[in-house]
Structure 1
Amino acid sequence: MADWGHGAVTASSYAIAWQPEATPSHIAMACAIAGIGWQPRPAMTVADLGCGRGYNANLLAAANPGWTVLGLDHEPSGIAEARQLAAQAGLDNTRFIEADLGGMGLAEIDSLPPLDVVIIHGVWSWVSDAVRAGIVQLLARRLKPGGVAYLGYNALPASGPDMALQRLLRQLAGPFGTGAGEAAAAAARAMVRLRAMAGALKLPRTPMLARLLAEPAVLEPGFVAHEFLTAHWRPVFQADLCRDLDAARLDFVGSVNLFEALPGMFCDGEQMAVMRRMGDSAGQEFLKDLCLPRGFRADVFIRGARRVDGVAALHGLWLAQVGTLPEESPVLNTGASRGEIAQPLWTQIATMLRQGPARLGDIHAVLGPAAPNPTEILAILVSTGCVLPLFQGGGPQVAATRFNIAAAATYAPHGEDLGEAAGQYGLATPHGLGGLPASALDLAIVAALLEGEAAEPVALAQHLQPRLEGERLLMAQGRIAARLAEKLPAWRYFGVV
């Protein structure tokens, strides 16, 4: 492995996996729930550390032309792809930097502009101590007072059982070089060998093991290489991360998994009694990690917290439906419990949201005395994928349109397999400070609509998949009709089309 990678896997990529949680809109909701006074502004500087192929950074820049968005990563091929997409989308507010966070000198760090938001998704648990120290140093020197940071990382104790699995996969992979595809080939080799011997081993039956053993395969070798073949994969306790971030004077705010602010949703009575006795935040977060069987945390930190009226902040949030709302009250599965809104109350909420965007305070007021608290309503609606927050008015913006067309051309080109293309994408929205979750088919449909095609399944199918005939053409028309019925209202609410 090359030294410039600091033990991380290099020259191996996998499908785009855009995460709506790693955006300022989710950070804003977490801050509101915690009673912290932070709101995105029309002009900000945002940095994505470990930006990978740059999809998230480009999407944020397209959705927010007043922001400057920096993407830093050690992998040159990812930086090259990010710059190419930015050029195709005509973005002039992005800057992508090939950077070694483990070796950046103070002059190099200080050449970066002061930062309002730093996003660090899927980095901390996979890198060396030198890279972690570089991240903290960058935060300490460049994150503004009042600035926020998002960190998504593997957490203990839930990730602990996979530590032996990671060591086994590295053993099964054998030595591999840094050439294109070598890490992915090594991961594929390890996956085959693991399937052959898993029945004879006493490995903990974790969700990750189940995904690795699934037939047909559900994990790309490139993903497995990045996830497990790094020399430094080390999940951490949340308190240890907080201790490391003390050097940057960061305070813990909360999780972008909003339900985690409500331990009563996943702790039983005895656990709640213990939590009350824990007293401090660190002890309570540790107890949450004992109760929740999730190995990935996504936390928000702030450099200088300013307290505000949390209820007022929540009541002021505007929400809009992301897709077709179900008739039955959606169920939030936390992994330890199931939470839902009573059916009569859900019927009232769904009726309001089907009429258009609504303020959370108005939703809460309409429900009357039986209403759950605003945090519970927001957590269930967001965590079940029913709504996202709206932050801006106005019509579709040119930058978002150009990005959505360029993203479709790059990642969802016209072709016979369009409906089955891999990846999790986002559509840039000028109303959401980020994006709407989208499949490759969604990208292609939106791009066609933006280029003037009618919102009509037959015409769209012929435009996007012109070589299909007979039954396959009818199936394509059906898929497109279903997506339009589910997604078109949300695309319009959020200014995508």
Structure 2
Amino acid sequence: MSDWSQGYPTDSAYIDAIQVEINPWRWQQSMLFSGRACPSPRAPFRFLELGCGSAMTLIALACSYPQAKFTGYDFMPEHIVTANRLIREIGLTNIEVREGAFAEMIAEGPGEKYDFAAAHGVWSWVPPEVRSDIVTVLNGWLGTGAVTYFGYNAAAGWAAAGPIRQIFRRVPRGRGERPFAAARAAVDLWLEQMGDMAPQAAVLWQKLKDAPDHFLAHEIGSEFGTGIWMEDLAEPLGEAKMTYAGPAVLAEHMDALFLEDEGVEMLRRAVDEGWGETARDLLHRRTFRNDLYHRGAPTVSGTTMLEKMRALRLIAWDEALNIGTHPSVFDQLKRGVDERVLLGFQELCAGDGAPFGACMEAVDAPPMAAFQAVMTALVSGGLMDLRPKADVEAAQETCDRFNAAMMARLRRGGHVPGFAAPGYGGCVQFSRPEQRAVLLGETEDEIFHARLEKLGVRVR
């Protein structure tokens, strides 16, 4: 392993990936539910990504917010070369990606402070001294009121991975495209010997075993890779004057939709006793957390939150599309809104949509119950909120160029992690073979194309 790696696997580039949870427009809503203000995603802002990889997400965001400035750092040269190639192809001028370790960022300084920052996966994979560097960078590079996203492997869902990690770290690696062939065989053999004695490890391995080796090198083969409890991240971030705000995904603010009654009661007790986040991870069996932290963000009242939510433009939606617009929700709901009420919302929001407030007024219920009904329909995928039309129009051209580049890759048979959706304010994904067949014109699905048009994804 090279000396500069600091325990991180540098013998292969990380997968080209798009993270739908990194989305300032969505973060603003989550911050409101946490009772905090957020830098406006409609105004000019500065956005920093730490460990940006090939910067797919960051580039899509730069297309979606042409009024903002984006900077990405990654210490692997291969990632920066790939990112700059796509930036030149699209012709973006509001983004810069740089090669550099976090320690180099500390020495360099930020110039201007940043309003938003993101670090996806990084904290889970790096040694303590690099985590300390991340805290120092954020302390020096973020402005007052800034919001930072951390996506990381959650300890609750990765507890069973310890033996698998140990095998991947200790079984000698081979050469060629399958360096972990022996490690894979060793995990299979161990689980066979265990029988029913390691059920959680067996379930986890079923999810991981078909992933390519270069993905597993980062997820379970890295020297310092581990699952993280929320408190183990919150404590060091306090040194950068950062405070936990809440989940980055709006649906994760509504635990009762995803838990049985007994789980809701246990969580209520845990919150009262001061260990609510641990209970949430355990009850939801989380393998990944998408969290927001703020640096002195002003508080907002419930009245202000309600006022801003009422103004959202909603359209009818169908989460069965499963393209990443409603992360963490698909096929996990325990409760939902009454089907007749949902159909009423969808009829009201047909065409160009209707305000959230108009949906509330269509419900024959007290205001709080009406609000909860619309929220349930929104976070569970029956409705979708779109950015203001002026914002969509401003981002349309650059998003079209990004998506044209992705379509060119798709036609060549290349890997396409996702597309830029100006209406959504970030990225969407197309992982199903039938979706890709429609995109390539091999099959027809006018409803699918109509939904993409609603998001501003123009690929025909």
TM over 0.5, shorter chain:
yes
- Aligned counterpart, 1:96: 97
Contact 1:31 1:253 in 2 (8 A): yes
Aligned to 1:138: 137
Residue segments in structure 2 that go unaligned for 5+ positions in a row: none
Tell me, in whole angstroms, the C-alpha distance in 2 between the residues paired with 1:19 and 1:124: 16
Superposed displacement of residue 335, structure 1:
8.6
CA distance in 1, matches of 2:143, 2:273: 24
Q: Counterpart of 2:22 in 1: which secondary structure?
A: coil
Identity among equivalent pairs (%): 24
**CA-to-aligned-CA distance 1:458-481 (integer Å, 9 cap, x gap):** xx74xxxxxxxxxxxxxx2x2xx1
SS of the residue 2:200 aligns to? coil
Query: 2:449 pairs with 487, 492, 495, which one?
Result: 487
Determine if the alignment matches structure 1 residue 147 to structure 2 residue 146: yes
Q: Which runs of 5+ in 1 are unaligned?
A: 447-459, 462-475
Which of 411, 414, 418 in structure 2 is aligned with 1:413? 411
Is the counterpart of residue 360 in structure 1 residue 356 in structure 2?
A: yes
Contact 1:50 1:74 in 2 (8 A): yes
* Per-residue deviation, 1:301: 1.0
CA contact (8 A) 2:173 2:182 kept: no
Aligned to 1:341: 337
Work out the CA distance in 1 between the residues paired with 2:424 and 2:160: 37
3-state SS in 1 of match to 2:156: coil
Would you say 1:13 and 2:16 are equivalent positions?
A: no
Of 194-203 and 221-230, more deviation after overlay is shown by: 194-203
Following superposition, the deviation at residue 86 of structure 1 comes to 0.3
Give the CA deviation at 1:203.
Answer: 3.3
Of 344, 350, 366 in structure 1, the residue corresponding to residue 346 of structure 2 is 350
Which residues of 2 match residues 201-216 of structure 1 at below 5 A? 201=194, 202-206=197-201, 207-213=203-209
CA distance in 1, matches of 2:354, 2:45: 26
Change beyond 3 A, Cα 1:260–1:340? same
Report the Cα distance in structure 1 between the residues aligned to 2:341 and 2:329, rounded to whole angstroms.
19
CA contact 2:58–2:72 (8 Å) conserved in 1: yes
Secondary structure of the 2:363 match is: helix
Deviation at 1:397, TM superposition (A): 2.9
Q: Which residue of 1 aligns with 2:84?
A: 83
- CA deviations on 1:65-101 (whole Å, 9 max, x unpaired) are 1111111111111111000000000011111111112
Q: Compared with structure 1, are the counterparts of its residues 391 and 121 closer, same or farther at alpha carbon in structure 2 (3 Å cutoff)? A: farther
Farther off after superposition, 75-84 or 270-279: 270-279
1:17 CA drift (Å): 2.9
Provide the rounded CA distance (Å) in 2 between the counterparts of 1:91 and 1:211: 37
The one-letter code matched in structure 1 to 2:429 is P
CA gap 1:384/1:200 in 2 versus in 1, 3 angstroms: farther
Q: Once the 2 structures are TM-superposed, how far is the Cα of residue 361 of structure 1 from its aligned partner? A: 2.1
Is the counterpart of residue 315 in structure 1 residue 277 in structure 2?
A: no
Q: Which amino acid aligns with 2:36?
A: I
- Distance in 1, matches of 2:164 and 2:376, equals 33
CA deviation map 1:273-314 (0-9, x unaligned)? 554454569522222122111111101111112122222222
What corresponds to 1:261 in structure 2?
A: 253
Distance 2:379 2:251 in 1: 9
How far apart in 2 are the matches of 1:322 and 1:60? 22
| Partners of 2:17 and 2:57 within 8 A in 1 | no
TM-score by length of 2: 0.86
- How many matched pairs? 443
Q: CA deviation at 1:322?
A: 5.6
Contact 1:18 1:55 in 2 (8 A): yes
Alignment of 1:85-484 (within 5 A): 85-101=86-102, 103-104=103-104, 106-108=106-108, 110-172=109-171, 174-175=172-173, 185-201=178-194, 202-206=197-201, 207-213=203-209, 217=210, 219-269=211-261, 271-278=263-270, 283-308=275-300, 309-321=304-316, 338-369=334-365, 372=369, 374=371, 377-378=374-375, 381-384=378-381, 387-393=384-390, 395=393, 397-409=396-408, 411-414=409-412, 423-425=416-418, 427-439=419-431, 461=441, 476=442, 478=443, 481-482=444-445, 484=446
8 A contact 2:410–2:416 mirrored in 1: no
- Contact 2:242–2:295 under 8 Å retained in 1: yes
Q: 1:51 to 1:440 in 2, by over 3 A?
A: farther
CA contact (8 A) 1:392 1:430 kept: no
Amino acid aligned to 1:85: L
The answer to whether 1:45 aligns with 2:43 is no
Given the superposition, is the C-alpha separation of residues 338 and 406 from structure 1 closer, same or farther in structure 2, using an over 3 Å criterion? same
Any idea what the Cα deviations from partners look like across 1:237-264, whole Å, max 9, x if unmatched? 1112111110111121111232332233
Q: Name the residue aligned to 1:4.
A: 4
CA distance in 2, matches of 1:33, 1:281: 22
SS in 2 for 1:294: coil
Say whether the 8 Å CA contact 1:428–1:496 is kept in structure 2. no
Q: What corresponds to 1:468 in structure 2?
A: none
Match of 1:4, as an amino acid? W
Post-superposition shift, 1:171?
2.3
1:349 and 1:210 map into 2 onto residues whose CA distance is 39
Name the CA distance, whole Å, in 1 between partners of 2:288 and 2:152: 6
CA-based RMSD: 3.1
Separation in 2, partners of 1:275, 1:493: 36
Secondary structure of 1:368's counterpart equals coil
The Cα offsets for residues 355-380 of structure 1, whole Å up to 9 and x where unpaired, read as 33332222222123178564664355
Question: CA 1:336–1:319 in 2, change beyond 3 Å: closer, same or farther?
Answer: closer
Q: Which whole-Å CA distance do the structure 1 matches of 2:131 and 2:215 have between them?
A: 21
- Select between 153-162 and 132-141 the one with higher mean Cα deviation: 153-162
Partner of residue 455, structure 1: none
Q: Secondary structure at 2:183's aligned position in 1? A: helix
